[in-house]
Each structure stands twice: as C-alpha cells, then as structure tokens.
Structure 1
C-alpha cells in the first residue's frame, strides 16, 4: 500500500512517516512537520475551532492552496495534530510496581497531557488507536497491567474506562476554569443562600455556606475519589480472575 491508497484512513500513512514521492515544481518551503507544529500552535492559542486550513496557511505565510502540497485535507491534518500533541507515552508507567499503580500513573499522565493541550478533548475519536503515539499509550498501559491477570479484552476495557474518566474529568475542569464568576464567590453565595433556604434546600445551603466548596477548579480530592472508585471496581474483577 502507498500513502495514496484510498483504503487507508486520512493521515494514517503520514503519521507513520510514509510520505509522497518527489513532486514537480519548486522545492517546498516547509515540511509536514512544520504544518503540524503550526496547527498545534494555533490550537493551543485559540482552541480547536480555530484549526482550519486557511488559518494554518496564514500562520506559515502560505496560501491555502499551497498548504495542500503538504496535507490533503483537514481530516488528515487532525490525525497528525492529535498524534503529535499526545506525544510519546509516559515512561513512568513502566516503573510502577503493580497494575493499580500503573493505572493510576497512566491516568494522571493522560490528564496532564489534556491539561497541556485542552483542545485534544474536541478532536473526534474515530475508532481504535492506529497512529504511533496513541498505540504507544495503549501499549504501556497493557504492559503495565500485565501482572493483574486480566484478559486482553478486560485490560483494554479498563483502558477505555480510564480514558473516558480522564476525558470527562478534564472537560469538567476546563469548563470550571472558564466560568465566571465561580459559585463560591461571596456575591454569588450571598444571592443564593437565602433563596436556597426559601426553596427548601437546607442541606445544599449548608454545604455551600460552610466555606468548603470551591468550584473555580476541580479539586484534586474529587479527581482521586472518582479514580479510586473505578480502581476498586477493577480490583473486584481482578480478585475474581
């Protein structure tokens, strides 16, 4: 197969370093890597919605038509952006002592990567991983939990479960950081608390009014609580294996 085989998904060949052969005309001023770096810079600065062929072309000082010398479509570009932004899998997973620690480290690394590039949450997921870095993340997960005794299918199911948890947690944290004003702001609480009491919501009023609630960002304790409950469930499956 070649990079132009219509049976290959967009961007798959380029992600594996299979590039078109020499083309006629002047030598290109840029490379595919330059285009990918520009796309990541645009996404980091202005979000996933800003990623377009014309915008990236302007970022590189090219015309939109010239950009198609490097990537054939936006779909192809998104595959390359996602794989590059995820980057290689974390080495720390291999240094853990058991499957539970490996899953914990892997999930936190996943969350950290989404914190660096929040727009990865908006990139469509189009099936099982097939690009080098994404396959690498799956590889280190499976290798790290090999001592659990889980079948390959159950281990992959655990990876998907933790993937979904990390994405949902990162999306909630992003939403909280973007909101204004936070619920815990004194003026907001001053408005809400008497109305909550009037509507018969004394338990929530006491929670909000107790001073221990802060929705400006997702507390680490909440992240750990959810993660540990998932791992407890996987522990039950491991114990039955």
Structure 2
C-alpha cells in the first residue's frame, strides 16, 4: 500500500518501513535529512543529492537506499524539515494573515533554496500542512466557506513566494540600479522623445528604482483588502 503513496509521505509522518534482515543501519533518516539541509544551506538546492550525503557520511550511494527510496523522496523530506513549523499566529484573520506571510517570506530569506524545490501538488507533509492548517483556522472565524478559505490561502502563499523570489533575484543582481544617476540622465530625454510621460514623472521624482522598499506591505495590504471584500460580501 505504501508503494502507491507519493515519495517521502510515509517517512515524513514517521512511518518507517519494515526493517530488512542484515546489519543494523549505521545511519538514520533524520541524519540524512539534516545533512541534506546543511548542503542546501551552504551550497544551494542543486547540492542536495544522495551521492553527496553518502560521501559526507562515508558510505556508498547504494547504501542510502536502505533509508530513502529515491532522490524525490529525499527532497520531500528535506523540504518539509527545512520549512519547519509556522509560528503561533495572533488572533483575528487579518493580523494572522499578515504574520503568516511575513513568517513565510522570512523563512525563504533564511533558506532561499526552498524556492527551488519543485511544487508537485497540494501539501501532504507535516510542516507544510501545518502552515496550511494554522491559516485555515484563522479563516474559520470568518464567513468564508472552505473552498474560498482555501483559495485565499493559496493567494497568500503565492504572494509570499512571488515576493520572496523577486527579493532573492534582486539581491543576487550586481547590475547598476535603474535609478542610478547615469541611467536616469540617459533615459529621461529618450523617454520624453518617445512619449513615456508617466515614467518620466516617476524618474523625475526618483520613484522608479530597483529597490523593493515597501512593496511587501503595499502588496500584502492590497491582497488583504481584497480578501476582506470577499469576507464582507
């Protein structure tokens, strides 16, 4: 029956396979997952592999299959452990949603490689489901039905992931900011010549730049405003 379940699901919930006869295992799934997280933290998502974890522990790659069935299973376990459990949320759906998004953005900032983990469907592992659970509990205090509450949850999750992705890419960008004095001096006359009046005004008032500034709060507030309209309706 477990063979029909998605990779990593049983192990993530602490259901261990029946131990085969033979020498006592020298490693544990917990050790393997911890090493995978360490590799992700130090070298990024692409560094997380059965081969590298095996080398770290001085065993063969084939020996790793005594503990996890595949690379996919390893990634599922590493991802769920690395995302960790969400914080306790404040009362009220709106303060709760604000804290939830900030916590998720912070988690991605701490471990940017989490953004590289493929999304393969709805969350099914303990920590990932706990993130969904606490936010759905906050929405349960509103008139939203389950379908709409889940939709709002996905909206907040998508917003947090999108913001974190942009922040990560911009943080790794060594290019000259678009608001640099030289860039502005070059662009403004050309924007005027080719009829970009709105962007000319933004450049002139120094409001067009590469910084995220208050984009997180602005976008989150607008998103919550939209959810509030749905709740009130």
Moved more, 75-84 or 51-60: 51-60
Give 1:234 deviation, angstroms. Answer: 0.9
- Identify if the C-alpha distance between structure 1 residues 27 and 206 changes in structure 2 by more than 3 Å, giving closer, same or farther: same
Q: Secondary structure at the match of 2:4?
A: coil
Structure-1-length-normalised TM-score: 0.87
Alpha-carbon distance in structure 2 between the residues aligned to 1:69 and 1:57: 12
> What's 2:148 paired with?
154
Aligned length: 232
> What's 1:37 paired with?
34
Task: Please provide the CA RMSD for this pair.
Answer: 2.0
Where do 1:149-188 residues align within 5 Å?
149-181=143-175, 182-188=177-183
Alpha-carbon distance in structure 2 between the residues aligned to 1:24 and 1:198: 79
Alpha-carbon distance in structure 2 between the residues aligned to 1:88 and 1:207: 41
2:216 aligned with 1:223:
yes
Alpha-carbon distance in structure 2 between the residues aligned to 1:161 and 1:195: 38
Alpha-carbon distance in structure 2 between the residues aligned to 1:16 and 1:37: 16
Instruction: Work out which of the residue numbers 192, 200, 207 in structure 1 matches 2:202.
Output: 207
Alpha-carbon distance in structure 1 between the residues aligned to 2:182 and 2:38: 37
How big is each residue's C-alpha offset from its partner over 1:118-166, in whole Å with a ceiling of 9 and x where there is no partner? 1111211222211111111111111122221111111111000100111
2:16 aligned with 1:19:
yes
List alignment gaps of at least 5 residues for structure 1: none
Alpha-carbon distance in structure 2 between the residues aligned to 1:77 and 1:191: 50
Where do 1:50-65 residues align within 5 Å?
50-65=47-62
List alignment gaps of at least 5 residues for structure 2: none
